[in-house]
Amino acid sequence: MASPDPKEAHGPKLKRQTYQRMKHSIRVFLTSPAGGRAKALLAALLACMFCINGMNVLNSYVGRYFMSAIEKRDMAGFVHYAWLYVAVFAGSTVVAVFYRFAEERLGLLWRDWLTHRIVGLYVDQRLYLRFEESGALTNPDQRMTEDVKQLTVITLSFLLLILNGTMTAVSFSGVLWSISPKLFAVAVLYAAAGSALTIFLGRPLIRLNYQQSDREADFRSELIGMRENAEGIAVTGNQQTIRHRLMSRIDQLVANFRKITEINRNLNFFTTGYNYMIQLIPALIVAPLFIQGKVEFGVIGQSAMAFATLLAAFSLIITQFQAISSYASVVTRLGEFVEATECAGLACDAPLVEYATGSDRFIYSRLTLHAADKEHTLVVQDLSVALTPGLRVLVNGPSQTARVALFRTSAGVQVEGTGSIVRPPVEKLAFLPGRPYLPPGSVRDLVVPAGSEEKVDNKDLWRLFDEIGLTSSKMKSDEDLTTPHHWEDRLSIPKQHLLSIARALLADPEYIFLDHIETSLGEHHATMAFAALRARGITCISFEEREPDPARHDAVLELHEGGSWKWIELRSSPPRVIS
């Protein structure tokens, strides 16, 4: 079994930081564009809450007089208070339904706003790439789905419980004090002692619930990875290694959950007994007063209701501790996500390449790049080259790390380094990575640019496919162009690359960067694809390990170990190296 992460030995703590994060989350939501609707729903909830508490107090007195009428055999009083009981229950039902409706709508509004905000940051700032590379954050997908859902639902629930508990405590303190000051004092002391013992017994649940969320997510990630790489696992015969990893994940989450159940067992011993005693204590104090003739019979029932209600308000920690422990882990996990987002947004303290737009050329100026390893190895040093329109360049050389770093930096993916890149506008650029990215959908959805659906008909697509050699038994009719598919399973890698090139050609870029696509396509399809690019005057920069072909390339940029580079002209043309 894998050893636990040292950071998990401490885990999140129920401390001021959790409260601060909860308060910050609420404040940001209420001041957001959705805050107006949120405040209206919150006001409706408070109004419903006030009505419910008022009806509960009224109900306690109706019940008191109802039971006293029974004890006195007063038929007229019995009927009168029975009808009042029905009226109070009917009113409470209507208010409770609207209260629940408003709570669900407010929770949905909050989740909708928060999920849009987090996913927007995750995509726009390319955090998915930074978190993957740095490993700074585990399971960001779970934090944006399950944790966001729990945060909004549970925070709202706790907020309303606190507000409702405060109203209830104020409302029923007077009721209980009027019955017996001694009973009121017992309620306060009993709730305080119970809360302290609950925190003492259940504190480890906070750390264990945090770890359980990660254990479950790690197990799901292993299963997803196995499904995505099913063929590779079967071909390589690597099932036993995968089986061992899965079993290890299961052992970890089961062992952690076993600890949770042990803590819950001890906690339940206390809380169950605590709740049973709530039913007995009022009778022990008020019944002697009735026997002595100091109070009427209905006061016993009223005291039991008031005592239980007041204890529920005072005992939120006891009754909700397991939910609080889970909530603390959720707040911590999302807090870590936000902090990591802020760090990534500020790009931490690493030196970064500067970008500028507005030129018709692609210019590297004194560009120096470092590898993302512990030594920050120098891979490109002081590169100054201008790529002019219509040029066809091969970027090769023995340093694969340098090629990867230059391709990523050209695409705007920040790599540690210095210098600047002046580029045409983003919409005039196309970058095709070595691993094709074709999300599920129809061919038209994939290759036709947004907003051009009416301009590009199916005949245009078939002509383009013929031009680049994209013929396939999988696509034979117009119906095949509009039928959704999972293309990674349906087409070979070369065909996927050709589909990506078709998409790029329809977008009409001025520059296209290809990462190891010539080799993947093969000589025949590469020749057809490059001919299509040349016919449209698209500047092509191809990153490959192969030797240059003078018929296909105008120049070569060789990247060597240690950061050195060399520009080689394959045909007579103006020099493009910047002095």
Q: What is the CATH number of the domain that holds 114?
A: 1.20.1560.10
Q: Are residues 414 and 540 in the same domain?
A: yes
Structure tokens at 363: 């210019």
Q: Are residues 398 and 336 in the same domain?
A: no
Residue with tokens 């690359």: 497
pLDDT band at 155 (very low <50, low <70, confident <90, very high): confident
DSSP 44-63: HHHHHHHHHHHHHHHHHHHH
At 474 the pLDDT is: 60
Domain count, the chain: 2
Give the Cα-Cα-Cα angle 489, 491, 497 (nearest 5 degrees).
120
Structure tokens at 459: 């005949």
pLDDT at 135 over 60: no
Average pLDDT of the residues of the chain: 77
Q: Are residues 308 and 411 in the same domain?
A: no
Domain end call among 316, 345, 374: 345
Domain end call among 345, 373, 401: 345
Q: Are residues 520 and 498 in the same domain?
A: yes
Domain holding 98, by residue range, is 16-345
Q: Are residues 328 and 422 in the same domain?
A: no
pLDDT in tens, 357-401: 878 889 999 999 988 766 778 889 999 999 988 889 999 988 888
Exposed e or buried b per residue across 304-330, where buried means at least 16 C-beta atoms within 10 angstroms of its C-beta:
bbbbbbbbbbbbbbbbbbbbbbbbbbb
Domain end call among 345, 374, 405: 345
Is residue 305, in this structure, part of any structural domain at all? yes
CATH number at residue 526: 3.40.50.300
User: To 10 degrees, the CA torsion angle through 276, 282, 287, 293?
Assistant: -170
Can you tell me the distance from the alpha carbon of 195 to that of 315, in angstroms, rounded to the nearest whole number? 6
At 333 the pLDDT is: 65
Residue 441, φ and ψ in degrees, nearest 5 = 160, -175
Q: Are residues 365 and 305 in the same domain?
A: no
Q: Are residues 285 and 381 in the same domain?
A: no
Q: Are residues 468 and 324 in the same domain?
A: no
At 139 the pLDDT is: 58
At 81 the pLDDT is: 78
pLDDT at 541 over 90: yes
Is residue 135, in this structure, part of any structural domain at all? yes
Is residue 35, in this structure, part of any structural domain at all? yes
Q: Are residues 458 and 365 in the same domain?
A: yes
Q: Are residues 171 and 250 in the same domain?
A: yes
Is residue 403, in this structure, part of any structural domain at all? yes
pLDDT in tens, 340-364: 665 555 444 455 788 888 788 899 9
Q: Are residues 359 and 385 in the same domain?
A: yes
Is residue 9, in this structure, part of any structural domain at all? no
Q: Are residues 341 and 473 in the same domain?
A: no
Is residue 81, in this structure, part of any structural domain at all? yes
List the one residue out of 169, 263, 165, 175 whose CA is nearest residue 212: 263
Is residue 58, in this structure, part of any structural domain at all? yes
* Percentage with pLDDT > 90 across the chain: 7
